[in-house]
Structure 1
Amino acid sequence: MLSSVHRPVHSGRLRARSGLAAMLVACAATTACTVANSDSTGDAGEAGDSLRIVLDQEPPTLEPCEASLTSTGVVTRSNISEPLIERDPTTGELEPLLATAWEQVSDTEWRMDVRDDVSFHDGAAFTAEDAAFSIDRAVNNSALACNVDGYVFGDQELGLEVVDDTTFTITTETPDPILPLRLSFIEVVPRTTSTEAKVREPVGTGPYAVAAWDTGVSITLHRHEDYWGEAPSFSRVRYVWRTESSVRAAMIATDEADLATGLNPEDATPENSLPYPNNETTALRLDGREAPLDDIRVRRAIDLAIDRHGIVDALFDGQALPAAQLVPEGVVGHNADLTVGEADPDTARALVEEAAADGVPVDREITLIARNGQFPKVAETAEALQYQLSQVGLSVRIQMADTAAHLEYQLRPFPEDVGPVALLIMHGNQAGDAGFTTSQYLLSDGPQSTFGTPELDERIAEADQAADDDRQDAFAGVFAEQNESLAQYAYLAHMQGLLGISPRVSYEPNSATGDELRLADVRPER
């Protein structure tokens, strides 16, 4: 029996801040005060039956097969479109949504049963044919290049056969013990959806349908009155976007928005925000193909030089946990035995000197690349890392990059002839299973891995075929081995998100909130 959804109870709001907090209090005291250049959502002071959300960026698309991208999924997932199976972000349990049941009938074949009482926004009935089509479109259509294909399914091909209106089968190339979890990333679309081009405004089965998208201004959704499930509280949802965290926070205070994503710690007060673990881990990825980073002593020295506790306290305002691996607690494979000690610059300096004595060019300049807006105070974090590495005898220069430039370094094929690079990454494991992390970041030829070892590759492959407790133990061993024999990553912190929230609504954020803000869970405050 699959368990019902349980939402976390928040344990406390953030302490008050000075500066902006005072401004917000002053603004809240007058009905005439609005935020300069905020371009209100249009419902300030009289929101009525509308839910008003301010995002940190405009979604590039609402294409369902791109919903594993945070900027798309936060609007699309389980709101406009829905998956067959949904993962409870609190318990990790898989729960039926458009599917009613699933069964592994052989090592490589699964049987799926789907609901018979669902219709799409355009009135067409949802059947097993639509479910199979959606999987085929997202996973098997290489021309469409859906993000969910490479990230979730690793470019594998799936065999699909429709048995009848409520049943279909899926055949995998090799045994896949977590196929139902992977399917939770597939958003279902009608079989009439284009397979040659991605759609900007999708038709789905969700509780909301797209009413309008005014490019650069807003996205409006309206409640799908023929929704098969429980009707959401708000009949209308309007999204706007503002790049400045301070503006998003002020829009909460002045009743111009009900929810605001991605607040910075300095903009958060006990009155305007709730913290939540967001499954994001920050780390330095060290390019082991280039000297001096090709020497494990230098990579170990970088790991030992970083004062994680100091960075978390001083720059992240305590709203994070120092990290010793790429996934936080709660993800299958997290290794509880990997702990974070204090920085040890003396040992780090000795390792650098030992490498130098053996001819390693430790004075070669390392480029530390970070992305603008990657997380709050990212530039200050880069500067702190630069200073800490310089204290152990390494030469580091900082290069701040926009998203496009950062992606060139993040994904294969990597730039050539750029020298040694330490890339500041932020990895989010929304799925809750280490297989999605290791396939991307630890395999020798992983899309976001610069190097590896045959031994670690073999351990990852074995772990990915395991299930239940064996899977947990196997991936925990992989993370321990990466730290011991590879040291490709110098971890910083498991991050925490801050969601702005007005007193007009009730919502408990969870670890999935930054990736899929489920509108049905937001209710008017009584």
Structure 2
Amino acid sequence: MRCIRLAALLAIAALPAAAQTLTIGLATPPTALDPHYHAHAQSSATAAHVFETLHAPNAAMQLEPELATAAETTDGITWTVRLREGVRWHDGTPFTADDVAFSLHRAGNVPNSPGSFGTYTREVRQVEIIGPHELRITTAAPAPLLMANLSNIFIVSRRHGEGASTDDYNSGRAMVGTGPYRFARWSAGTEAHYTRNDTYWRGREPWERVAFRVIPNNSARTAALLAGDVDVIADIPSADVARVRGDRRLQVFTIASNRLVFLGFDRTDEALATGHIRANDGAPALTRNPLGDVRVRRALSLAIDRRALVDRINEGQAIATGQFLPEGFFGHFADIPVERTDPDAARRLLAEAGYPNGFRLTITTSNDRIVNSARMIQAVAQMWTRIGVATAVETMPHAVFTPRRNRYELPVFLSSWGNQTGEALYTLVPQLGTRGQGGLGNANRIRYSNPALDRLLVAAGAEVAAPRRLALIREATDLALAEAVMLPLLLQVNNWGARQGITMTPRIDQYTLAMSIRPAD
């Protein structure tokens, strides 16, 4: 009997990868399954298993054709897009240009979206269906980055999406895509399950089933990998990288990321109502927000030792930066240095601004999204306290942090932003454009508005000549950095842990995709 059982176990172990379930541990859940609800990295990474885009970035952030086979323009205004033929939705119906037209309209018009995709469709004036697999997109002005922007829009089925709410996607009723996996089930904030699409146009994926488990606690996520409960984990805590790398059963996949970790400052007087910006004990109540003075914001920047955040808090698993993009992206400038650390200069600026004795702040962040976020804001709080700005710390789950930040309840926060197109406008337009101004500012959570910056962003977005566009981006970058309302701190290094027996292509965009994971040869 023992020999029979052993033979059975060996037979199971020898099953091909196609019969296996891939289990992945994530730090952060998607906010919804509706692919147009929230422009949010984990939500988009989750959606990519079921839905596809016209063009999609590969692991190195280079756009490649997906549902589109060609996109051509002679003037940057009128685009002819030819679509892939022979693609079918999971229900067997054919994919057509009508689905694309429907998706481009729906993406920016989802009710109650906490981060609208409208920022990526704002240039579109008209979509005309030329044939079953061809359409014409017209923009109001030259839009050389149109295809890069539309690469963020997942294409959904009109048949299943017309009249469908976000709840219909979350329940699975509308979860019919063209992608490599089919929706199976989802438990919000806990887990998501998918089964292989055996009729996928690219061919079958190796994994028959994919299970995502949300494990926000860093130690628990590492423990799950060590115990063999999961095959892969995202966001290895930096303190555990060496431990995982030293375990012969495991391996680490690493790549420098496009994710900027930054501090956001709400400089408006309305921010005082949150109670997070206060006078020192015994001093008269504040009637003006100290953060409204650029000298105060510059002082807070000068107080931060960014290299210490990299070396001491992140164990070297990050890159200090003084700008918004990593090296190699369009809009990274080699002559922009990392901000120096100068506490004495910071104290002088505070005194010049009328705060020689400082004031009080509360800084907030999510504790399950950014690697070492809680430790980082503790360190920043200590640095600010040393220059006289007594700083308290508040952390919360990302699912709580996001809506509170979006309601402007958190005027000083640590957050992050992944640049999905490789061009600076993807960061500057949504983060610092005036919210509601022609599709600008859809991710602006600090109530920042600067007409001069808006004009530069609009002009850069319409500039076809790359050298001139880069010059406009440089002007916009310099202005944004001088304003110091969005302080760049560091760029994350992405680390995944995995068991032996599989291989993985790490992605700059931090997406954890089953499609990037393969059985080892």
CA displacement at 1:464 relative to structure 2: 1.8
Contact kept in structure 2, 1:338 and 1:480, CA below 8 Å:
no
Match of 1:64 in 2: 35
Paired residue type of 1:61: A
- Contact 1:51–1:234 under 8 Å retained in 2: yes
Q: How does 1:31-430 map to 2 (within 5 A)?
A: 49-66=20-37, 68-77=39-48, 79-90=49-60, 92-139=61-108, 141-143=109-111, 145=113, 147-154=115-122, 158-196=125-163, 197-198=165-166, 199-200=169-170, 201=172, 202-213=175-186, 218-268=191-241, 269-270=244-245, 271-290=250-269, 291-356=289-354, 360=355, 363-403=358-398, 406-408=401-403, 410-411=405-406, 414-415=408-409, 421-430=411-420
Helix, strand or coil: the match of 1:186? coil
Select 1:476's aligned residue among 474, 477, 483: 474
TM-score normalised by length of structure 2: 0.82
Q: CA deviation at 1:321?
A: 0.8
Specify the alignment match of 1:465 in structure 2: 462
CA contact (8 A) 1:355 1:362 kept: no
Return the letter of the residue paired with 1:133. Answer: F
Residue-by-residue CA offset, 1:136-172 (whole Å, 9 max, x unaligned): 2223x35474845234335x65422111111111122
Per-residue CA distance 1:65-100 (angstroms, 9 max, x = gap): 2474223222221x211111112341x432211111
Task: Measure the CA separation in 2 of the matches of 1:257 and 1:169.
Answer: 45
CA distance in 2, matches of 1:431, 1:362: 44
Q: Find the residue that maps to 1:317 and give its secondary structure.
A: coil
CA distance in 2, matches of 1:233, 1:249: 25
1:124 Cα deviation after fit: 0.7
1:431 and 2:421 equivalent?
Answer: yes
- The farther-off stretch of 400-409 and 388-397 is 400-409
Find the aligned partners of 1:355 and 1:400 in 2 and give their Cα distance: 29
Question: For residues 31 and 265 of structure 2, what CA distance do their matches in structure 1 show?
Answer: 30
Native 8 Å contact 1:54 1:261 kept in 2: yes
* Equivalent pair of 1:332/1:471 in contact (CA under 8 Å): no
CA deviations on 1:189-237 (whole Å, 9 max, x unpaired) are 2220233312123111111112344667643322212111132222222
Closer/same/farther in 2, CA of residues 479 and 217 from structure 1, 3 Å limit? closer
Verify the 8 A CA contact 2:408 2:445 in the aligned structure 1.
no
What's 2:500 paired with? 503
Does the 8 Å contact 2:99/2:157 carry over to 1? yes
Give the AA of the match of 2:507: N
- Choose 145-154 or 92-101, whichever is displaced more: 145-154
Name the SS for the 1:129 alignment partner: helix
Q: Percent identity?
A: 28
Q: Counterpart in 1 of 2:285?
A: none
Change beyond 3 A, Cα 1:145–1:373: closer
Supply the distance in 2 between the matched residues of 1:193 and 1:466 (Cα, whole angstroms): 37
Q: Work out the number of aligned pairs and report it.
A: 469
User: Unaligned stretches of 5+ in structure 2?
Assistant: 1-11, 270-288, 436-440
CA contact (8 A) 1:105 1:111 kept: no
1:310 Cα shift? 1.0
TM-superposed CA distance for 1:371, in Å, is 2.4
The CA deviation string for residues 428-454 of structure 1, in whole angstroms up to 9 with x for no partner, is: 222322212112222344333433433
Structure 1 letter corresponding to 2:52:
E
RMSD of aligned Cα (Å):
2.7
State the shift of 1:354 in Å: 2.3
Instruction: State the shift of 1:252 in Å.
Output: 2.3
Aligned to 1:27: none
Deviates more, 1:164-173 or 1:58-67: 58-67
Letter in 2 for 1:80: V
**Inter-CA distance 444–220: structure 2 relative to 1 (3 Å threshold):** closer
1:32 maps to none
Partner residue, 1:10: none
Deviation readout 1:352-407 (Å, 9 max, x if unpaired): 22223xxx576332222222334233232222212211222323232334435533
Which secondary structure state, in structure 1, belongs to the residue aligned with residue 290 of structure 2?
coil
Larger helix share, 1 or 2: 2
Q: 1:510 to 1:480 in 2, by over 3 A?
A: same
Q: Show structure 1 runs of 4+ deviating over 6 A.
A: 43-47
Q: Is the 8 A contact 1:283 1:493 kept in 2?
A: yes
Tell me which amino acid in the other structure corresponds to 1:414: Y
Structure 1 residues 387 and 233, CA gap change in structure 2 (3 angstroms)? same
Query: Are the equivalent residues in 1 in contact too, given 2:180–2:197 (CA < 8 A)?
Result: yes
Change (3 A) 1:377 1:143: closer
Q: Which among 489, 494, 497 is matched to residue 491 of structure 2?
A: 494
Aligned equivalents of 2:403, 2:200: Cα separation in 1: 42
User: Which residue number corresponds to residue 29 of structure 1?
Assistant: none
- Change in 2 beyond 3 A, CA 1:443/1:148: closer
1:380 is aligned with what amino acid? Answer: R
Work out whether residues 210 and 221 of structure 1, in 8 Å CA contact, stay in contact via their aligned partners in 2: yes
Deviations 1:28-81 (A, max 9, x none): xxxxxxxxxxxxxxx99988532221222443432222474223222221x211
- Please state whether the residue corresponding to 1:473 is helix, strand or coil: helix
Q: CA deviation at 1:422?
A: 2.4
Change (3 A) 1:303 1:257: same
Contact 1:305 1:388 in 2 (8 A): yes
